[in-house]
Amino acid sequence: MPPRPRTQRLVSLTAVFAVISLWSQTGCRPTPGAVIYQPPIDTVMMSERVPQDVRRLAVWYPRSSEQEVTYGYSRLEQATFQLKKQRSWIKIVERRDIDRLTNEQRWQLSGRVEDDSVVRIGKWLGADSLVLFRIEGPTMRERMLARFYGRMPPFVVSSKIISVESGEVLYHDIVSAMAVPQSGEWGDYASDYELQPAMRTALDHALSVAIVHLNQSFR
């Protein structure tokens, strides 16, 4: 059987902003305190449509001590459960089920877990596919350096769906959003606390685009 065709595309800023505008009109609102600017977005999406035979999904993402990143994973997991609105036959295995299994099997999963390790977990859970999420954002040190050098790394949200049976990547999406000072420059901010609104706005923007892409792939 020939491999599934894949397409790779760069989505223009105009198209992304249009999608976000439509998404925000459907009942979702920006986080309180967010300003009305749009942080720069860069996005690459592969495999536009997830096959119809995907029926039992397990959701996995790495543990994090960062409050913002934990919040982001929660949004992505909730978005996965919303996929049932488009495909009512889909069943979702929750993250806590995976945690219990990995503890019982003594599998230590790092943030950069290998695909084949996750596939093994999917087989134990009886899932046919796994949804993997990963969020990377500016560390405390990088945020501190940005106040001196004026350069802030972006938030990067990666989403991947892997077939448990074949190990094939059915869907892969990467979205990055660069935080922008809400006023002045990064050097004008006296503390990490003052950076938080700009950080949350950029993360929310990246998450929103990633969720729109995920929904589109299940239509």
Q: Three-state SS string across 10-21, please?
A: ECCHHHHHHHHH
Residue 121, in any domain of the structure: yes
Q: Please state the separation of Cα 165 from the chain's center in Å.
A: 24
Name the phi and psi angles at 112, rounded to 5: -110, 55
**Residue 172 confidence (pLDDT):** 92
Q: What is the pLDDT of residue 98?
A: 60
Residue 2 domain-assigned?
no
Q: How confident is the model at residue 26, as a pLDDT?
A: 37
Asked if residue 5 belongs to a domain, the reply is no
Q: In this structure, is residue 99 part of a structural domain?
A: yes
In a domain? residue 45: yes
**Domain with 187 in it:** 11-217
Chain mean position to CA 95:
15
Give the pLDDT confidence score for residue 135 in this predicted structure: 95
Count the residues in the chain: 219
User: What is the tally of structural domains in the chain?
Assistant: 1
> 162, 169 in Cβ contact below 8 A?
yes
- CB of 175 within 8 A of CB of 213? yes
Is 93 a domain residue?
yes
CA dist 216 → 9, 19, 59, 82, 205 (Å): 14, 11, 18, 12, 17
Residue 162 belongs to a domain? yes
The β-bridge partners of 171 are: 161
Instruction: Output the tens digit of pLDDT for each of the chain's 219 residues.
Output: 444 444 333 333 333 333 334 334 334 433 333 333 445 555 555 556 899 989 999 888 888 888 889 999 999 999 999 999 999 999 987 665 566 555 544 444 444 455 666 677 777 778 899 898 999 999 888 888 888 888 889 999 999 998 888 888 899 999 999 988 888 888 888 888 888 899 999 999 999 999 999 999 998
> Is 1 contained in some domain?
no
